[in-house]
Amino acid sequence: MFLFYSFLSAILFIVSFPFNFSGYIAFIAFVPWFNSIAHQAEIKKNAAAGALFGLLISIYFSKPLYYSINIGSPDNPLVPLLLIFCTIILPNVIIYTIFALILQWSYKAHPYQRLLLPASVWIIIDYFKELSSFMLPWGLAGYTQVYTPFIQLADLTGIHGITFIVILINSAITEFMIIIRQNVSQNLNSPKESYTSAIFLKLNKLVFHTQFLFNMLLLLIFMISILTYGILKKKNVTESFQSFEKIKYIIIQGNDESNDRWNESTSAARYQSYIQLTKNKIADADFTIWPETVLNSSDKINYDIMSGVSGGLHDSGFFITGGIRRDNKGKTFNSIFVMRKQGLEYIYDKKILFPYSERPFFGNSAGSFLNSPAKFSEGTSKSIYKTGKNLTGFTICFESIYPSVIRKQARSGADLLINVANDSWFGDSSVPHIQQYAVIARAIENRISIIRAANSGISFAVSPAGETITMIPLNTRDISHGVLPVFTERSFYSKTGDWIIIISIILILIIIVPREIKKKKI
């Protein structure tokens, strides 16, 4: 039965992402698992439950990775399976096994300590994934809240703070269940009262229990305070847009399959399709944006196409596109090209390369796919460039899931962020949605406008309040255009960073170290 509760929590966590069902489910998703550990004394069983949870969520979030690695050689699944097992599934199994054992240990501590410890340990795990070179931080619990008022607190705490709140509330509900169980179980078998009446009497007494009422009130105040902050903050940020400069943008989403994008024989038709979608709107736009690696022919062909398109810009407009670039040393880069009417102004080369295809991983590479490079070189160019009056930050594909990357750009003066991507590698999976949630979170964290152009979707523009201005759905060929505010006021998180991680480390040390020292003395 203990494995069932772990299984249930994993399923509830997966469906709590908004593209599945509702973010509010996340606030109860971990309760079955946590409650099971609280009442399970056997270390082996709790370890097994933690391993099962890690196994299930890692399989779910790594399925798109398997598709992307295996797309070029579908008849040879063994290598991708082994790679994902060793770098994603096995580490997650180990990590959440350890978490389950720490959680079991915490239920011997003071109630307030066991409320704070799980949340603190959980976000340290997430932060470790962010720092690692292979465990992509996709499935953060904080992303479940991108469409709820809770996410607005990210401008103070970052996404890890939202995850902390989600786990904290799960721990608090678990604590209430422990209190209820303890009160109901006492004297339950008294011969003078039936089983039903005993439960009723115990629950009745519990309702008037001072500590229980205090805890309930504290949780209620906590949640209402965050909700109020979220609602009012979003309203205030949105109302302040009137006093800031606006920019006009157009996003082109070509929606080409990977087989088409990297097939030289169809490249001319593909380029012509993008040009046709662009030409009717480009004269009115301040920023015209094509997705990642749209231009993947020779440098000369790429430049000729960019020059032809940028000729339709107005005098202060910018044409921004993803493409392949090769230098005189034979290195290949995944790049963003920034064009003006007069010609090429700036190139940004992708810095964080995808570990399973864009760069060799432990000496191995997924190899080339059609005319795609077998590997890319890591870029060294600055990720911020002055576009007209403002500084613009650039990221390519999954670079946007790293909070520190975007925060550094915002802190360095960027007033607008542009992300180009190609999620067609991942098929019809959770990845485009998770990428969307990450971009929304980055916009709120730093109170900055972001435009994302993705080949197969989801392409959209999001305001500093986290509102989606325009969006092109997944697997759709279309163009979207709109107006975004250039918000120049940076958030508390932009200025201070992941202070919640430091606080969590301090909490872990304060809770664990004194108990272990005391235990050794005894």
Q: DSSP string of 433-451?
A: HHHHHHHHHHHHHHT-EEE
Q: Please tell me the distance from the alpha carbon of residue 498 to that of residue 372, in angstroms, as a whole number.
A: 37
Task: Report DSSP state, residue 343.
Answer: E
φ/ψ of 217, rounded to 5, equals -65, -40
pLDDT in tens, 348-405: 999 988 877 776 655 555 455 555 666 788 899 999 999 988 899 999 998 999 999 9
Query: What's the token pair of residue 302?
Result: 């790429």
pLDDT at 520: 62
Closest C-alpha to 58, from 143, 168, 137, 124: 137
Cβ neighbours around 472 below 10 Å, total: 22
pLDDT in tens, 453-505: 999 889 999 999 999 999 999 999 999 999 999 988 889 999 999 999 999 99
Sign of the C-alpha dihedral computed for residues 242, 407, 443 and 162 taken in this order: negative
Tell me, what's the pLDDT at 234?
A: 94
Range of weakest confidence among 15-29, 179-193, 335-349, 390-404 = 179-193
Please give the angle made by the CA atoms of 488, 494 and 496, to the nearest 5 degrees: 140
Q: What percent of the chain has pLDDT over 70?
A: 88
The pLDDT assigned to 518 comes to: 63
The pair of structure tokens assigned to 158 is 């970052």
Q: Which structure tokens are listed for 421?
A: 């991507």
The helix/strand/coil state of 172 is helix
Whole-number percent of the chain with pLDDT over 90: 55
Please give the model's pTM, rounded to 2 decimal places.
Answer: 0.90
Torsion-angle region of 322 (φ positive above 0: left; ψ -120 to 50: alpha; else: beta): beta
Question: By CB neighbour count within 10 A (0-12 exposed, 13-18 middle, 19+ buried), where does 500 fall?
Answer: buried
Tell me the sheet residues that pair with 323: 295, 335
> How are strands ordered across the β-sheet holding 478-485?
343-349, 332-340, 318-326, 287-289, 246-253, 478-485
What distance in Å separates the CA atoms of residue 398 and residue 404, rounded to the nearest whole number? 13
* pLDDT at site 72: 56
Write down the mean pLDDT value for the chain. 86
pLDDT at 133: 72
- At 449 the pLDDT is 96
The DSSP annotation for 369-390 comes to -TTS-S--PPP-S-SEEEETTE
Q: Please count the other Cβ atoms lying within 10 Å of the Cβ belonging to residue 515.
A: 16
Amino acid letter for position 75? D
CA distances (Å), origin 483, targets 286, 371, 451, 463, 470: 10, 37, 11, 10, 9
- C-alpha 513/C-alpha 519 separation (Å) is 10
The model's confidence at residue 52, banded by pLDDT at 50, 70 and 90, is very high
pLDDT (0 to 100) of residue 455: 92
pLDDT of res. 359: 67
Pairing of strands 318-326, 332-340: antiparallel
CA 374 vs CA 296, 357, 359, 479: distances in Å: 13, 8, 8, 31
Angle at 291 between CA 290 and CA 294, to 5 degrees: 90
- Residues 394 and 411: their CA atoms lie apart, in Å, by 14
Please check the confidence at residue 345 and state whether its pLDDT lies above 60: yes
Q: Which 3 state secondary structure label does DSSP give 169?
A: helix
pLDDT of 389:
85
Distance in angstroms (rounded) separating the CA atoms of residues 114 and 112: 5
Q: In what order do the strands lie in the sheet with 449-454?
A: 384-387, 390-396, 416-421, 449-454, 459-462, 468-472
Mean pLDDT of all residues in 309-327:
92
Residue 198: the pLDDT is: 54
Q: Are 452 and 442 in contact (CB under 8 A)?
A: no
Is it the case that residue 256 has pLDDT exceeding 60? yes
Instruction: Tell me the average pLDDT across 24-47.
Output: 92
Enumerate domains of the chain plus CATH numbers: 2-238 (no CATH), 245-490 (3.60.110.10)
The answer, yes or no, to whether residue 80 has pLDDT greater than 80, is no
Given a cut of 90, whether residue 329 has pLDDT beyond it is no
C-alpha–C-alpha distance, residues 487 and 405, integer Å = 19
**Alpha-carbon torsion 121, 126, 130, 132, what sign?**
positive
Q: Residue 394 corresponds to which tokens in the numbers above?
A: 């650039």
